[in-house]
Structure 1
Amino acid sequence: MRFFSFKNLLLASVAIVFGVTSCQPVDELSKEAQITSFTFDTSIEANSIVTSQPVIEGNTITFTVSASATDTLLSALVPTITVSEGATVSPASGSSVDFSNGPVTFTVTAQDGTTNATYTATATFDEPTFPIDEQLAGEYKGLIDITLNESPVGTDIPKNITVAKVNDTTVSLLLEDFSFEGIVLGTIQIDSCFLSLSDTPEEEYRFSGGQTLSLVLGELPTTVNGTFSSDGSIFINIAIDFNGIPVDVTFNGTKLTGNESSEALITSFTFDASNSANAAVHSTTIDQENHTISVITTQEGGDLTALVPTIEISAEASISPASGESINLSNGQTVTYTVTAEDGTENIYTVLVYGRAAYFYDFETWEAGTMYDDILNPAGWATCNDAVALIKKMGPMFGHPEYNGEYPVRPTENGMTGKGAIIESVYTVKGSLMGQTIPAVTSGTIFLGTFNAFAAITDPMATTEFGILFEDKPLTVSGWLKYTPGTDFYDENGNIIDQQDLGTVNAVLYEVTSEDETLNGSNIYTSEAICATGSFETAGVAEFTEFSFDLNYVKDYDPAKTYKLAVIFAASKEGNQYRAASGSIMVVDNVTIVCE
């Protein structure tokens, strides 16, 4: 019999213990492989485009991002992911994940290292919102370029285009008075242009649309594409099918703020006399109501083919052609100027030769009167000085109070340029002289014609023989004047009444059958011989101001007939009725009669 030693017995006991232990079950590793939380920390700049946190449904994860999110932003999102205990996820939580190419697959591996699950995370875009009212809608001022069959037919044409809201995703475009190459197409209005977001950094929004337009030339298919930029600018391309010929219109503009000036005026249009190219020009007149500029040539005329105007316009406006560019007004040609205000408002002026300065009076030369040496009259003009001289010289002899005042018409060194003519209504005391009425105030008057002092004995109205023989057809009378009405207005009875005086300038062209025939104070405005009249009046102007008026023809002008022209300046409008204010003063200079 074989016996175990104590040592062998001990080893056997240990082996039995360990053997028994190794047969018991070990704690198993987890097979859980779930994403329990998937979020974006929006305090991280890369996640700022996330507009709603992810929602986990089964193995699908969805979240939304801003409609304006770009691929660059989508490629750098950083999710925070929580998974089952002991599990791992790839891509890892906190790492940058690229969502720019569509859904991203996340794989979760359980603790046991073999169990896994996949989740698909998808970013969806918010519906875009467009700031139409706040930013896009409004009027845009810019320049248009036009090509016809790819050939330029118009460049840098100032125009305004209006953008209006149709609904939250659509705008309309309006381009009024569109024309090219002298062809007027009318108004281009695209009713619906659909907005979309732009991927180009310098562009915020795109738009496109199209429709068949009913224009002057017919039904023309039209498409539109364009962009709005963040700096307030707009680009538009309008493609028109003009009977099979492509017309492309491009517009680059900037949105107006609403505070821009709408004034588009030519405020001054002159010709520098020191420039020999302008030698044929006498003067110019601007008609703001009709937007015409009349050029008056000198009596001698001259070269009108290369005139160089100096033009002033409203502040912030622009003009084309520019000031200083030569123009040709020869042979009846006209030139058109377009003035564009700061807000795009346009005015078009037409420049034309209106006539020639056949007669010009600068009042530099004065001559002694025919009756008395102390009387001075402007050369070429008759005045009321002779009438006042009769009162002054002869009045005391016939019991009328003595008049010691100045003559009503006299020279001044302070004319518009050099000398001018003072025309004053003076207080002569109501009374009579040789049976004829002397008014309380004698109206200051100068006129083209003759003063017949001897007619005063029988008919005071006959003293003013109005008009000089005139061989040209007068068109306009212009000049410079200032006027101050007197304070005390006397009626025909010599009483002071509450009425303000007015200064007047009148012109009358009338027919005569002989040189001796004339109209006078009794019929100068009523005779059937009158062919044309014109007038100007003022209640007062402190500084020299230009006046101008046209003659209105009531009869056809016949160059074969004989005419006389009267131009009459009066310090008191109703002076011929013995109604005037003492001390009314008109100062006149540089009078021009423009003829055809």
Structure 2
Amino acid sequence: MKTKLMYLFSMFCMLSLFTACSDDDKGGPIGTEFDGVYKGTLDVDLDGTKVGENLPQKVYVTKVGDNQIKMELKNFSFGAMALGNISVDKCNVEKQSDDVCKFDGEQKLTLPIVGDCDVVMNGTIAGEKLDMVINVKATQSGAAITVKVDFKGTKLATDQSSEAKITEFTFDSKEVVSQPEIDGTNITFMVTDTIKAEELAALVPTIKISDKATITPASGVAQDFSKPVTYTVTSEDGITTTTYTVSVAGKMQKYSLDEWVDKGTGKAAYKTPFPDDKLATSSAGASYLALFGYTDEFPVVPTEDAVKGMAAKLTTKNTSDISLAPAITSGSLYTGRFAVDPFNQLNSTKFGIMCDKKPLLFNGYYKYTPGELFLDGSDKKNIVEHPELTDECSIKGVLYEVANESETLTGLNIGDSEKIVAVASLADGTAKAEYTPFSLEFNFLDGKTYDSTKLYKLALIFSSSSKGDTFQGAPGSTLYIDELEVVFE
């Protein structure tokens, strides 16, 4: 009980600095010579035991009458309690000389939790010095509590700021893919999933803080962010200190789709997004079909119609007139590789790249326009029109377990393999006229979890026709995607 009361009464004694003094006048009129801001410290004793020492504080003194002053504390906080502006508009004073006055008084206060308190206060202002003693008596649970507060302060030439905030925290590093976000006193940021331990341990932040405040550690000094780093900001007047914790929120795999790589030659020339060792498209298959008469635009091409920089445009094609081609070829982009199998097109898509971290979210932007006429080309010899159906796009993330790096799922089993551990899937594949953000959570299948001792591959799959794997869709259906990222634990 005493420990709790020590905190409460320490806070209370701050308040008691500003209790109204006696109504009895004690001297002649005063001028504005006592007006100003007095910066000093508090010592607090509870029943003879010191519970606070050299606690920084400011008192604002303003003349409001011939023998009255206003005493005010601005933006006051004590411990975790923010109490705002606290003031007593009128305190009676007795002038002793041109630059000396005395004040004393007593008052009853009622505070939440603490209850009724008797306050006796006396002190002096002499020249540039403010010196006061406050004695507080209270009873709680039948026990009498006595608190004594000593304040000593010196008038400042001009007021000093009490603000202690970090206003901006940034890194100039390609390994930081999401600049720090300030949420109260917590600051978090994202790094690449390929960042090296030594790089994370040597990141250099640039920090902006409140005017004339100071910060420790300093801005521009490398810190080891493999673990949370604590920064302390101290206001210009030294009254306020704010402690921030800066940490990595997670790792991110990012594909901006701004860079594209030339592949093939002659009629078979096409572009694939960078990094081409991780990303593949159905244009690789169309490039092969170009040798057999395919002349249309490839199913996946770069475009300047983007959220930022460049984007990928995926279009479903009618390839029924091309030998060795399915009737419908959807525009598809995925992590993995393409290895042509002329006898089984679905086996040509090798989905997934090695993944050694638990995926949490799959984010990005997309817009979509379905083609005019939905076709069922599952039987190339008997293509069926379905004017009553409307095509939809597909965006999906699939985490699956492998026995070794060479094992892979293909278009034949990416949808139903027992190897699949978690899936993130876009629920709404309908038309979107403008770029729309998506954020898909990886949901782990029943009874399955991420095990860091096992091997996994991660497949990110985009298709302009959600049933493209069964050669169904509407020619002309167009999916735009941009600024893709996967957030890892």
The structure 2 residue matched to 1:524, chosen from 397, 414, 420, is: 414
2:298 is paired with a residue whose SS is coil
Deviations 1:296-324 (A, max 9, x none): 166334365675434689xx9x9988994
2:286 is paired with a residue whose SS is helix
8 Å Cα contact 1:511/1:531 also seen in 2: yes
In structure 2, distance between residues paired with 1:270 and 1:308:
9
8 Å Cα contact 2:217/2:231 also seen in 1: no
1:449 aligns with 2:336: yes
Structure 1 position 390, deviation (Å):
5.9
Query: Does the C-alpha gap of structure 1 residues 322 and 476 become closer, same or farther in structure 2, counting only changes over 3 Å?
Result: farther
Which position in structure 1 is the counterpart of 2:198?
Answer: 302
Structure 1 position 512, deviation (Å):
1.6
The structure 2 residue matched to 1:565, chosen from 450, 458, 462, is: 458
AA aligned to 2:177 is S
Query: Does the C-alpha gap of structure 1 residues 572 and 209 become closer, same or farther in structure 2, counting only changes over 3 Å?
Result: farther
Which position in structure 2 is the counterpart of 1:556?
Answer: 449
1:513 aligns with 2:403: yes
Higher relative contact order (CA 8 A, sep 6+): 2
Task: Give unmatched runs, 5+ long, in structure 2.
Answer: 1-26, 31-38, 45-49, 59-72, 95-104, 122-132, 139-144, 153-164, 234-241, 377-384
AA aligned to 2:353 is I
Which position in structure 1 is the counterpart of 2:296?
Answer: 405
Task: Give unmatched runs, 5+ long, in structure 1.
Answer: 1-69, 74-142, 157-172, 201-205, 226-236, 251-263, 274-278, 339-346, 397-402
Which position in structure 1 is the counterpart of 2:171?
Answer: 271
2:341 is paired with a residue whose SS is helix
Structure 1 position 446, deviation (Å):
1.6
The structure 1 residue matched to 2:282, chosen from 376, 384, 390, is: 384
Which position in structure 1 is the counterpart of 2:53?
Answer: 151
Which position in structure 2 is the counterpart of 1:293?
Answer: 188
- 1:399-438 map, 5 Å: 404-411=295-302, 420=310, 422-429=311-318, 431=320, 438=327
Which position in structure 1 is the counterpart of 2:6?
Answer: none
Query: Does the C-alpha gap of structure 1 residues 498 and 526 become closer, same or farther in structure 2, counting only changes over 3 Å?
Result: closer
8 Å Cα contact 2:300/2:315 also seen in 1: no
1:567 is paired with a residue whose SS is strand
8 Å Cα contact 1:367/1:376 also seen in 2: yes
1:507 is paired with a residue whose SS is strand
Give the stretch that moved more between structures: 526-535 or 289-298: 289-298
AA aligned to 1:473 is K
8 Å Cα contact 1:382/1:446 also seen in 2: yes
AA aligned to 1:485 is Y
TM-score, normalised with respect to structure 2: 0.53
AA aligned to 1:294 is F
Structure 1 position 377, deviation (Å):
2.7
The structure 1 residue matched to 2:113, chosen from 214, 234, 246, is: 214
Structure 1 position 445, deviation (Å):
2.0
Structure 1 position 564, deviation (Å):
1.5
Which position in structure 2 is the counterpart of 1:282?
Answer: 176
In structure 1, distance between residues paired with 2:401 and 2:252:
22
- How many residues were matched structurally? 387
Deviations 1:173-206 (A, max 9, x none): 9x99x652xxx5x6889xxx99867679xxxxx9
Which position in structure 2 is the counterpart of 1:91?
Answer: none
Structure 1 position 271, deviation (Å):
0.9
Higher-Rg structure is: 1
Query: Does the C-alpha gap of structure 1 residues 447 and 311 become closer, same or farther in structure 2, counting only changes over 3 Å?
Result: farther
Query: Does the C-alpha gap of structure 1 residues 582 and 564 become closer, same or farther in structure 2, counting only changes over 3 Å?
Result: same
Which position in structure 1 is the counterpart of 2:98?
Answer: none
8 Å Cα contact 2:394/2:466 also seen in 1: yes
1:584 aligns with 2:475: no
8 Å Cα contact 1:425/1:581 also seen in 2: no
8 Å Cα contact 1:534/1:552 also seen in 2: yes
Deviations 1:359-383 (A, max 9, x none): 8787646252599742333311221
8 Å Cα contact 2:349/2:410 also seen in 1: yes
Which position in structure 2 is the counterpart of 1:465?
Answer: 350
2:369 is paired with a residue whose SS is coil
The structure 2 residue matched to 1:485, chosen from 362, 368, 377, is: 368
8 Å Cα contact 2:303/2:312 also seen in 1: no
Query: Does the C-alpha gap of structure 1 residues 72 and 476 become closer, same or farther in structure 2, counting only changes over 3 Å?
Result: same
Query: Does the C-alpha gap of structure 1 residues 151 and 289 become closer, same or farther in structure 2, counting only changes over 3 Å?
Result: closer
AA aligned to 2:113 is S
Structure 1 position 551, deviation (Å):
4.7
Which position in structure 1 is the counterpart of 2:248?
Answer: 353
Structure 1 position 518, deviation (Å):
2.7
Query: Does the C-alpha gap of structure 1 residues 364 and 303 become closer, same or farther in structure 2, counting only changes over 3 Å?
Result: closer
Structure 1 position 430, deviation (Å):
7.6
